Amino acid sequence: MRLSELKNSGRSPALPLSLDLADAAGPAQLQLLTLLRVLPGQRYVGAGVWRGRPVLAKLLVGPKAARHFQRELAGVKLLAEQGLTTPLLLADGLQEGEGGWLLFEFLEGAQSLGDAWKQVETLRVLADEQVAVLAEALGAIAELHAKGLWQEDLHLDNLLRHDGKLYLIDGAGICVEAAGQPLSRPKVLENLGVFFAQLPKSLEPFTEELLVHYLLSNAEHALPLEALQKQVNKVRGWRLRDFLAKVGRECTLFCVQRGPFALRAIRREEASAMLPVLEQADALLDQGHLYKTGGAASVGRVEVAGRSLVIKRYNIKGFAHWLKRFWRPSRAWHSWREGNRLAFLGIATPRPLAVLEQRFFWLRRRAYLVTEYLPGPDIIERFAPFVAKGDAPEAELQALDQLFAELIKERISHGDFKGHNLFWQEDRWSLIDLDAMRQHSSLGSFAPAYARDRARFMRNWPESSALYQVIDQRLPKTAHASQA
């Protein structure tokens, strides 16, 4: 296969494949065996064999290939010139009309710090194993900054452990201010903001403690926490907006199809499992355990391939109802978007798996949302034994405090905060039924919405009960007071 043909091979070209390339030693074939990352029609990254040697190949095709190649090559050279640990570049080339390619030594058995973090992220906050991963990352970032460089696309997957060393990868994201001289404080704060913005919010109180691991390798600047947190908040806002744009378009994370007769979005890793669920959603609901049927929505638990799921079908009750719904995004789409918002922010909710809007020449009809099933009890059931005495477990009350604190911090209102929409799941309270959820842009609009949410939540128990009094004393009375 010619390199230029790769751009038409889509997301999953047939493997293995042979590509005709050439370097100073003459033409040779790259045997591409596996793909690790694909940006269809632009970039293909995978493992293969070149001149009898295992390599990691970055293949750049399409109209932007030359620009991407030059940027990648420049970044790789900067890392090497500054003596930073990075995989050895074995060969590279750029051919007009074909594309560009870079072949690196293959680090057999290497583990990204992203994968290392996944193994420890469920441990208690700031467990020793978590600190070890983050300290390693911050040390590498400090060394990069000390040389006047920074990684624009800074995340844990761009750091690889191999044979006791930590390798910096992805030259395309490497930027330089003054090579060989320490990075300026504004750039340091900006880049560290990118790093800390990607960590769970539960680690936010420990930023100063974690920052020590950076300063041990690069103490060139004093780094005020307030300035760093400002950068973190800025990056988090940008990342959230970028992520929410992705939930509605074809990308690495989601499979999305839009057309005059349907809008369908599925988490990419769930595509093969969810396509048949959406195709037979009505039949599955008829056979499943129904929680709610008729009216504006039907909700049921279904079993598919030994897995429990929840399907929510948003019905059209009649012509008058259709006139109100056809011209705006369905409640299924709103719930899909808000469920992904909560998941991104680290606020517990059943994982949204797929959504389907049926359409007739773009006019919306029925819609379906598929999520994971929560086996835990709702808060009404969970707290039922404690209504009279108010002696609910402290851990569960603290989890409730934490949930409200998170919602207030993010200015999120639920819109229907009855107890049946709050489930106990793995030591956390998880929100369901997100049809009316909203993230407010200002405290002025959030404050009355929070007051309504709190009032509705407190109506779950008699005002005279001991449990009501306990919860009422703990939850912030107003959003203003909580953010002050």
CATH assignment of the domain containing 338 = 3.30.200.20
Mean pLDDT over 460-478 rounds to 95
Instruction: Tell me: pLDDT of 339 over 90.
Output: yes
Residue 12 · residue 25 · CB < 8 Å: no
Predicted confidence at residue 12, as pLDDT, reads 85
Mean pLDDT over 333-345 rounds to 95
Which of 78, 105, 132 lies at the terminal end of a domain, its last residue? 105
Residue 246 inside a domain? The answer is no
Mean pLDDT over 46-56 rounds to 95
Tell me, yes or no, whether 478 and 435 share the same domain: yes
Confidence of residue 118 (pLDDT cuts 50, 70, 90): very high
Predicted confidence at residue 259, as pLDDT, reads 86
Residue 23 · residue 36 · CB < 8 Å: no
Tell me, yes or no, whether 333 and 395 share the same domain: no
Tell me, yes or no, whether 354 and 422 share the same domain: no
Task: Quickly count: other Cβ atoms within 10 Å of residue 28's Cβ.
Answer: 14
Instruction: Tell me: pLDDT of 482 over 60.
Output: no
CATH code of the domain covering residue 187 = 1.10.510
Residue 249 inside a domain? The answer is no
Tell me, yes or no, whether 281 and 368 share the same domain: yes
Mean pLDDT over 436-458 rounds to 95
Residue of 335, 360, 164 lying closest to 262 (CA atoms): 360
Residue 247 inside a domain? The answer is no
Residue 245 inside a domain? The answer is no
Q: Which residue carries 């989890």 as its tokens? A: 399
Predicted confidence at residue 260, as pLDDT, reads 87
Average pLDDT of the residues of the chain: 92
Mean pLDDT over 357-364 rounds to 81
Mean pLDDT over 135-147 rounds to 97
| Residues β-bridged to residue 412 | 439
Which of 317, 342, 372 lies at the terminal end of a domain, its last residue? 372
Tell me, yes or no, whether 84 and 174 share the same domain: no
Confidence of residue 325 (pLDDT cuts 50, 70, 90): low
Residue 415 · residue 456 · CB < 8 Å: no
Residue of 397, 423, 270 lying closest to 340 (CA atoms): 270
Tell me, yes or no, whether 406 and 469 share the same domain: yes
Tell me, yes or no, whether 418 and 473 share the same domain: yes
Q: Which domain holds residue 387?
A: 379-483
Predicted confidence at residue 24, as pLDDT, reads 61
pLDDT tens-digit series, residues 227-257: 999 999 999 999 999 999 999 999 889 999 9
Counted domains in the chain: 4
Tell me, yes or no, whether 141 and 98 share the same domain: no
Residue 379 · residue 460 · CB < 8 Å: yes
Instruction: Provide the whole-model pTM.
Output: 0.84
Tell me, yes or no, whether 17 and 78 share the same domain: yes
Which position has the higher pLDDT, 6 or 340?
340
Tell me, yes or no, whether 259 and 368 share the same domain: yes
Element (H, E) at 189: helix 185-197
Instruction: Tell me: pLDDT of 484 over 50.
Output: no
Mean pLDDT over 371-385 rounds to 95
Mean pLDDT over 25-42 rounds to 88
Predicted confidence at residue 460, as pLDDT, reads 96
Which of 372, 400, 434 lies at the terminal end of a domain, its last residue? 372
State the burial class of residue 234 (Cβ atoms within 10 Å of its Cβ: 0-12, 13-18, 19+).
middle
Amino acid 374 reads: L
Residue 446 inside a domain? The answer is yes
Tell me, yes or no, whether 366 and 389 share the same domain: no
Residue 244 inside a domain? The answer is no
pLDDT tens-digit series, residues 145-175: 999 999 998 999 999 999 999 999 999 999 9
Tell me, yes or no, whether 273 and 361 share the same domain: yes
| Residue 251 CB partners (closer than 8 Å, separation 6+) | none
Residue 127 inside a domain? The answer is yes
Count the alpha carbons within 13 Å of 242 in the hemisphere toward its beta carbon: 8
- Residue 406 CA, chain-centre distance (Å), reads 17
